[in-house]
Amino acid sequence: MNLPNKISFTRIFIVPIFMLFIIPLPEWMLQSSIFGFMSEQMAAYNNFIINYGRYIAAVIFIIASCTDGIDGHIARKRNLVTKLGKFLDPIADKLLSTAALIALIQLGDVWGWAAMIIIGRELLVTGLRLVAAGEGIVIAASKLGKIKQVSQVIAISAALLKNFPLSLITSFSFDKFAMFIAVIFTIISGYDYIAKNLHVLKSEN
């Protein structure tokens, strides 16, 4: 397995680690007699996750997001592009953001409709790229797509951090504002991809 594919696998492996820090154990597990022998340990774990977990998760998310695209860049630069890499790279790119959005919905920190638009757009564009790939067409990332990605990372990071450190000086809900902006760029970039590549769906060959 080459270096780009190892990086992609690492980014995918990070997702369950991220989830361990962001989501506390469910109440039914804490109260279940099945896990009674370790109830104190689980309570301590939950206390740690509730107080500090999301900040650790935020660090994991930000670091992983900053490495987004490195595997693909190395593969192209070193001529290490493989079918496995083409399969793993888009999964690694989207999986962490999707996991973060779902976790934040469960915690009540992100609007469900915002997550639906963001995840739906990613599925739509990924499907379009798969169809294009079948026609031998490569749909490159656009400037709008990159702006969309940056806006999503900022919004999700702000939600994970509960607006820290801005929360120390203002009560302004920056995370909500940033998520709204991210949704706008998500819609615009999604429309841009479809409008510019609609011919792929109309092709009969």
| pLDDT value, residue 29 | 84
| pLDDT value, residue 203 | 61
Contacts (Cβ under 8 Å, ≥6 apart) of 95: 11, 12, 15
CB atoms within 10 A of CB 146: 13
Residue pair 98/119 in contact by the 8 Å Cβ criterion: yes
Q: CA–CA distance from 141 to each of 46, 128, 133, 148 (Å)?
A: 40, 13, 14, 11
In tens digits, the chain (205 residues) has pLDDT values of 777 778 888 888 999 999 999 998 888 888 888 887 888 888 899 999 988 999 999 999 998 888 777 766 777 777 777 766 667 777 777 888 999 999 999 999 999 999 999 999 988 888 887 777 776 776 767 788 889 989 999 999 999 999 998 888 988 999 999 999 999 999 999 999 888 888 777 766 5
Amino acid at the residue 25: L
Preceding amide of 165 cis, omega within 30:
yes
148-152: long-range contacts at Cβ-Cβ below 8 A with a sequence spacing of 24 or more? 148/182, 148/185, 148/186, 148/188, 148/189, 149/68, 151/178, 151/181, 151/182, 151/185, 151/186, 152/97, 152/118, 152/182, 152/185, 152/186
| pLDDT value, residue 9 | 84
Q: CA–CA distance from 163 to each of 108, 130, 171 (Å)?
A: 14, 37, 9
Residue pair 22/65 in contact by the 8 Å Cβ criterion: no
| pLDDT value, residue 204 | 60
Give me the phi and psi of 63, to 5 degrees please. -65, -45
| pLDDT value, residue 40 | 87
Residue pair 99/15 in contact by the 8 Å Cβ criterion: yes
